[in-house]
Amino acid sequence: MPAKTSQFLLSDAASLRRFKLLQFRSQMPALLLLVLALALNYIFPSANLYNLALLLAIVAIAWFLYLALCYRYRQRIPIPPEGSLLSPVQGRIRSVQGNGDITLVNIRKMVFDSVEIRSPHQDCTLEDGVLHLPSAAGKISFRFNIPRVIWFDDPDFSTGNIIGMAVGAGNCTITLPGNLDLDLKPGMALDAGNPIISNLQEADVRTRPERQVVLEALAGFDEESTET
């Protein structure tokens, strides 16, 4: 279980160390380029390579800072409401579409959005890179179309806990059963760990008309059976 304060859910130290290690590995080429730029004038003192060395140093520093921004993460988030369904990534709502059977929510993650992937719900499971969550109305799934997605080994799926990381720009598509009345609009900003549905059990799932007829018929049949 992740540590908590009275108001915040704290990211575990092991996850933060993984972030820093992967960030350092990605920044190694930029550091090596900077070392090369600083060493050029010493290696070739008579070649007048000052301008080249300065250019390489500027490129290396810019590259290093760019990668640092690509690996931003948050050390804490507000404690999620009990029974809520959370956004696994940071980004903006790109679209919310439904056809009566399912509702699709597409979240666009930008390159400088935070890299942590947080568990949307404590009952989630991971299979072939897709998060699945059973619900009373049907299965909810989370698919990630992001260049680099890394899942932690044996993650703790406690709601809001860090379970992996997503580096780079891409999309997360959430498939929800039924026609949900969501308080989500295109362009709305979300942080990883923000509630998408405040109470999953009380979510307004509109039953398809033909299924409603069957349910009413079954209810009537049960009443007749009881009377006889």
Q: What is the pLDDT along the chain (228 residues), one digit of tens a residue?
A: 667 777 889 888 888 889 999 999 999 999 999 999 989 878 887 777 888 889 999 999 999 999 999 999 998 999 998 889 999 999 999 999 988 789 999 999 999 999 999 999 999 999 999 999 998 888 999 999 999 999 999 889 999 999 999 999 999 999 999 888 888 999 999 999 999 998 887 764 443 444 443 334 444 444 444 454
Per-residue pLDDT, 13? 85
Q: Tell me, what's the pLDDT at 190?
A: 96
Nearest-CA neighbor of 107 among 192, 178, 179, 181? 192
pLDDT at 125: 96
Maximum distance among all Cα pairs of the chain, rounded to whole angstroms: 107
Nearest to 195 by CA among 71, 2, 9: 9
In the block, tokens 């300065």 appear at: 54
Q: Given the structure tokens 């500027």, which residue do they identify? A: 58
Q: How high is the pLDDT of residue 215?
A: 37
Cα atoms in the 13 Å half-sphere on the side-chain side of 192: 27
Report pLDDT for 180: 81
* Residue 80 DSSP SS3: coil
What's the CA gap between 70 and 112, in Å, rounded? Answer: 5
CB 81 within 8 A of CB 195: yes
The pair phi, psi for residue 192, each rounded to 5°, is -60, 125
pTM of the predicted model as reported, rounded to 2 decimal places = 0.82
**DSSP code per residue over 177-201:** ESEE-----TT-EE-TT-EEES-GG
What pLDDT, on the 0 to 100 scale, is given for residue 118?
Answer: 96
